[in-house]
Each structure stands twice: as structure tokens, then as C-alpha cells.
Amino acid sequence: MSSPYRNICLFSLLSISLLPSVFAHPHHDELTEEQANAPVDSILWIHIIVQAAVWGILFPIGMVLGITRSRWHVPLQSAGFLLTIAGYILGHSHKGRMFLPSVHGSFASILFAPIIAQLFLGIYLKLHIQEKTIRPWVVLAHGIVGKAYPVLGWTQMLFGALTYRGYCRGGALGQCLAHYIMGSGFIAYGTIIAIILLVGEAWVRRSGRSPEWWDSWVIMLWGIVNTFTEHRGSTWSVKDMQHTILGVLWWTGGLLGIFLARNNQRNVVPGLIIILTGWAMSEHAQALMISTKVHSTFGHTLMLAGFTRIIEICFFVPKFTPEGSDDDATSTSDQTLAERSPRFPTPTDSPPTESGKAAASRAFRHLPPFLLVAAGLLFISATDEELKFVHEHEMDHVTYILIMFSIAFFMYSFIVFLIHLYSTTGRNAPSNLEVAANDTNIEMSSQGIRAKWYARVPNPEREAEATRGLHVIGEDDED
């Protein structure tokens, strides 16, 4: 491990270990009206901006660079650790507005566990010791913790927004949980669909399952949970009945989708369930007109996401077919490495031999995941407390909905950027397409070269052999 990286990591680790005892920010069980409505000072604004930039942008980029084994992974994550420490200090140093004890503050302390774990694991990996025994498990643990960062960061940012506005306390907690969990679920669903449609074809082929098989399992399990958690007490309200029957719809539809997806077959059941869910949400009765409009737009957006998913499945170039079939354009054995990766992104990101229908398919694939992301944001923004605040400030539903779609455009741009970063950096960089594919540390797919979950110590003899030329893969050489 180089000296600058080691010093940065050790300094970050020491600083983090001392923070909880040094900075004990006082919270108040009760606030006066003056404390609750005091202006937000510049220190708190810097805290918000720094932590949002680190957890929302810097750490996700660092995670992707870690997956691709980019040399920029360590310096970027190290900078992120230092910045998040600075943000933590600022969050406990501000004046002006005071806040009640909140889950945001409690979760900030919990986040020290993955941060410290990631630092320890990263430092251990840089030491390159116990290569054949302990290191493989450390690599696995390091990857799991690192991939959890976007989820942890998203959760903490939501908690921060709720604390800032004082939402989701008392009787409003149940509605907040429903909107924030379900809305975040739609965003995560859209992100996963984007990954599968844009760069995940090889993984889906290796799994032997169509995308709808995975969708249907998630829908069925989520439906089972909702069937038994949406009703509380002895009296059934209209919303209780609606939410409970949606749970039943999901697990019954998911069961059908699993059966139809056997033998790697694609089906339209997940898209149909999304459409029915969107229709039900668009018909929810609401107390305020703006709330009715926002819920209606959310439902229609969700319906459109399901409809476009069905179109993608039924009318565009089939993907995810078993290797070796007529639809698999990468199954011939005499192609070169570059030819075997026709969908691996290039600087032009559009192969010159791509047919019109294939190009249309590539363009259309962005619609379902983007609409799922937009629907998720709309649902998160549709709680009674949020819309009451918007209503009191005389903002109409058109402006509010357009704001949410603007955020959705930005968020989906970042998602696509991360996917592109994965395809073009580290071991997936175009220059590395010429690495010999007989290296046991490398896994070949139609998406290019990727590191396996554990890479052994480099073999100088094999590396020297790899530099002598491009290895052409035959069918017998594939994993």
C-alpha cells in the first residue's frame, strides 16, 4: 500500500474512532417555538451539502470504481471518508435552528460501523497478506459493505429531510413508512431494471432465469408482507382494504409470473401488475385536491412504466435468450474478443453495424426504468404533511409535479452515468479488452472482461504471456 493512501486511511480511521466521544451534540426533548423556527445557519447548510455530495454522489462513484478495480477507487473513497468526517463535525457544530431527537441522528452513529469496517477491510487488502486463506473472505466482505453504501446513503438523506421538516412524528409515521419504503422500492426497481437491460445480459444468461423470474419473486414476497401488515386494529378503513388487496394482487400475480418464467421464458405479468397498481393508486381518495392530483399523476406514471415494460418484452429484439440459440448474436466460436462483445459500450456507444431495430430497442429500454424512478419520487413526495406544506405555500400541482420530474431526470442521469462508468473504467476499460482471456482471474461475458469476486495474486509469467497478443476465445475456453 502506497504511503499517501495508507496515511489518509489511518488518519480517517483515527478521526472516526474519536468523533463520538469528542462531539456530543445536545438534543432537546422539547423545543420552544423560537428554537424550532430559527433560521438555518451557514454551518448547517454546508453540512447538508457536503454529506449529500459524499453519500449521494462520491461514494456511489467510488463503489463502481471498486467493482471495476479502478486505481481511482482508493483515493476517491479516502477523500469521501475525510469529507464525511468534516460533515459530521459541522452537523454537531451548527447554531440557530434546533431539532428534536431523531432517527437521522441515531442512524449517523450507526453509520460509523460500515465506515470503520470498510476502512479496516480496505487497509487489510492493501497489505496483501494471507492471500489464500483469509483474503478471499475479506474481499467478499469488502464488496458487500461497499455495495451497501448507496442504500445507506439514500436512507440517511431521507432521514435528514424528515428531520429538517419535522415530519413523520406521531400519527404520521405509518403513512411516511408506506410512502418512503414503497417509493424507494420503485426507485430501486427502476435502477435494477436499468442495470439488467443495459449491461446485465450476460449475467441473466448465466443465471438461466429470465428477468421476469426475478421480478415475480420480489413482487410475490412483497405482496405476502403487505397482505398481513397494511391493516391495524379492528376497524377496516377504505385504505386498509385497498392496500391489503394490493398485497393479495402482488403475491398471486407474482406466483403466476414465476410459473410462466420457468425455462428462461419471458412474460408480461410483472408489467401487468405494475399497471394495475398504478391504476389503483391513481384512484385513491385524498383530502386535498393537490394530493389527489399528485397521486393521480403517480398512478398514471406507474401505469405507463408497466405498459412500456410490456412493449419492451413483446415487440423489441429478444435478449436474455439461452446461449447458443439463434437469437444469441455472440455464440459463434471464431469471433475475436471485440466481436464477441457487440453490446459492450464503446466511445461512440453505437456500433456502426447495429440495425435500426436494435438501435430502437436500445433507446426504448430507458423508458421503463426512468418511469419507475419518476413514479417512486412522486410517491415519496405525496405524503399528507408534504402536500399540506405545498398547499399552504400556494404552489399548484403542475409546478410541484414538474419539480419531481426534474429531480427524476437528474437521478436517472446519474444512474446511467454510473452504469456507463462501470462499462468504461478499470478492468472494463476499452484498452483492457486485449487482455488474454485465459487468465483465471478474468471472467468473459458479452459485456467484456470483468474481475471475478476474488482475484488471486498476480502471476508474472501469465501477465507476460498476456502482453504478447490477443487471445481468441473458442467455445471450450469459456467459463
Torsion angle defined by CA atoms of residues 121, 123, 129 and 132, in that order, rounded to the nearest 10 degrees: 30
* Selected residue with higher pLDDT from 181 and 240: 181
Q: Which of 46-60, 124-138, 366-380 has the lowest mean pLDDT?
A: 124-138
- Residue 85's closest CA among 66, 61, 108? 108
Q: Do 58 and 163 form a contact (C-beta atoms < 8 A)?
A: no
Q: Which of 228 and 279 is assigned the larger pLDDT?
A: 279
Instruction: Give the confidence band of 36 by pLDDT, cuts at 50, 70, 90.
Output: low
Query: Is residue 23 predicted with pLDDT exceeding 60?
Result: no
pLDDT at 16 over 60: no
Q: What pLDDT, on a 0 to 100 scale, did the predictor assign at position 10?
A: 52
From the centroid of its chain, how far is CA 130? 33
Q: Which of 246, 249, 268 is nearest to 257 (CA)?
A: 268
Confidence bin at 21 (pLDDT 50/70/90): very low
Comparing 79 with 334, which gets the higher pLDDT?
A: 79
pLDDT of residue 479: 34
Q: What mean pLDDT comes out for the span 17-46?
A: 62
404 band by pLDDT with thresholds 50, 70 and 90: very high
pLDDT-derived band at 335, boundaries 50, 70, 90: very low
Question: Which stretch of 72-81, 149-158, 197-206, 258-267 has the lowest confidence by average pLDDT?
Answer: 197-206
* pLDDT number for residue 319: 52
DSSP letters, 268-304, are SHHHHHHHHHHHHHHT---SSHHHHHHHHHHHHHHHH
Q: From the centroid of its chain, how far is CA 466?
A: 35
As a whole number of Å, the CA-based R_g of the chain is 25
Q: Is the pLDDT of residue 466 over 70?
A: no
Most confident of 228-232, 344-348, 424-428: 424-428
Q: Where are the domains of the chain?
A: 1-166
pLDDT the model gives residue 260 = 93
Q: In the predicted model, what is the mean pLDDT of the chain? A: 77
Mean pLDDT is highest, among 27-31, 37-41, 317-321, for 37-41
- Over residues 256-314, the pLDDT tens digits come to 999 999 888 889 999 999 999 999 988 877 778 888 899 999 999 999 999 999 998 88
* Per-residue pLDDT, 99: 75
* pTM over the 0.75 mark: yes
**Which of 90 and 452 is assigned the larger pLDDT?**
90
Least confident span in 152-156, 219-223, 428-432: 428-432
Residue 320: predicted pLDDT: 54
